[in-house]
Amino acid sequence: MFEDDIKDKVKNSNLFEVVYKKDKFVLNGKEYPIGYTSYIAIQEECRFMDENLFKALLGIYDDLLRDFTKENLDYYHKGIIYVLNSLKDNPMFALLGVENVKDKIARLFSARKKNHYLAINDFKEHGIDLSTAEKADYADEVMHSLNDFLSAMAIGEIIYNSVLEVNGYAALVFQITHRIVERGARNKSQLADAFGEFLSDEYMQFIFRTASQPFKTRATVMPVIENIKGENCIFRKVYYNNLKDFLNTDLFEGYIQGHYLWRCGICDRYFFMTTAHKQLYCSTKNPKYDVPCSYVAKHPEVVKRKMERQNKIDSPYYLLWKKRNDLIRKNKSLGKYDEDRLLIEYVYGICPQCLKNKEKKSIRQASLLLGLTEDGAQKKLKSILKKLKKNLQE
């Protein structure tokens, strides 16, 4: 029932518009520095979103298409409200103005509109009765709601796709940012080098398909003229029909402007760089010391430098090694051990199966955890990447 029309609606609907002004973008009437979405994506609320709740909404939608009844339509409506409420505290969806969508949802799922949707389904199955003028007028009224019907049906898939796109973007940002911090990239040229290294990495090409599917966009661009301090300026307004295009555009435009993320040397949290390109510490209040990390860096007396001597067996690295080694031995006996996957996961800090970000380890740490020599781990990693490259070329 209207499946192709609904898919077309999902693909081509303009979801939101963004105005770009020099080194800023305007979304829902608010200005943000270019690249700011990368800072939002690095937060835990975006990096570790549970997709199952949103996948369940698709199941409700499928049930509705199979049996288009008032009961299933009401259940679908309630499911949409529920998932939108779960997204209102997510910083990325708050930026997009998910709260403003509720009025549109209320209009699309009013009692009158629902009756029209049920009638449209009835027309689809049994045809339209035009035997009297009254019935013809009613049919005309109902068919005027066809566009709203398609929009209402498309909302579930649009929400689910957006959640997947935020998860994928968060993984992408984390990997690129790790490369930037690792290389110590602090200016535009260094950012370009770090980003180029990321794009040429064979494993990253395999995970994010940067070679076979480059960062394409399907946006509509329009010029807008605004008066700024008495002078007319031309800016560009972009209409996006999916979230991924906007997020990728913002990330790359941010690097062009020299905007990027850096990891605080004290609290290890990420902060967004726009002007202070040599800043090493964030200005966020550190809960441990009750002052910003930048203050802690300037006043070493805040931190107790004299540390108690620690036994080797109490070292977190030793405990990590012992825990992992015991798990590997157990999995080997159960036939669940995959050395290649674990090596990739350790060295690149990302699980190749679920794309979840993990703690990145050096070759030496990975070799110790897997019971390999450092040279053996390096050779095995090269062999894995060679296989992946061969698979991509086939």
Residue 315 predicted with pLDDT over 60: no
CA atoms within 13 A on the CB side of 308: 4
Mean pLDDT of 184-203: 88
Work out the pLDDT band at 354, boundaries 50, 70, 90: low
* Encoded tokens for 198: 């990321």
Work out the pLDDT band at 199, boundaries 50, 70, 90: confident
pLDDT tens by residue, 258-282: 999 999 888 889 999 886 566 788 8
Whole-angstrom distance, CA of residue 158 vs CA of residue 184: 38
CA distances from 86 to 77, 98, 167, 301 (A): 15, 10, 16, 43
Position 339 scores a pLDDT of: 74
Mean pLDDT of 42-56: 90
Q: Closest by alpha carbon to 21, among 309, 259, 305, 228?
A: 228
0.85 surpassed by pTM: no
Residue with tokens 């802690």: 296
Position 314 scores a pLDDT of: 41
Among 139-143, 218-222, 382-386, the minimum mean pLDDT is found in: 382-386
Work out the pLDDT band at 214, boundaries 50, 70, 90: low
Tell me the sheet residues that pair with 260: 273
Work out the pLDDT band at 301, boundaries 50, 70, 90: low
Work out the pLDDT band at 311, boundaries 50, 70, 90: very low
The residue that leads in pLDDT, 200 or 108, is 108
Position 270 scores a pLDDT of: 92
The residue that leads in pLDDT, 373 or 4, is 4
Mean pLDDT of 204-219: 74
Whole-angstrom distance, CA of residue 93 vs CA of residue 81: 14
The answer to whether the beta carbons of residues 367 and 377 sit under 8 Å apart is yes
Work out the pLDDT band at 309, boundaries 50, 70, 90: very low
**One-letter-per-residue 3-state SS of the chain:** CCHHHHHHHHHHCCCEEEEEECCEEEECCEEEECCHHHHHHCCHHHHCCCCHHHHHHHHHHHHHHHCCCHHHHHHHHHHHHHHHHHHCCCHHHHHCCHHHHHHHHHHHCCHHHHHHHHHHHHHHHHCCCCCCHHHHHHHHHHHCCHHHHHHHHHHHHHHHHHHHHHHHHHHHHHHHHHHHHHHCCCCHHHHHHHHHHHHHCHHHHHHHCCCCCCCCCCCEEEEEEEEECCEEEEEEEEEECCHHHHHHHHHHHHHHHCCEEEECCCCCCEEEECCCCCCCCCCCEECCCCEEHHHHHHCHHHCCCCCCCCCHHHCHHHHHHHHHHHHHHHHHHHCCCCHHHHHHHHHHCECCCCCCECCCCCHHHHHHHHCCCHHHHHHHHHHHHHHHHHHHHC
Largest CA distance in the chain: 93
pLDDT tens by residue, 63-117: 999 999 999 999 999 999 999 999 999 999 999 999 889 899 999 999 999 999 9
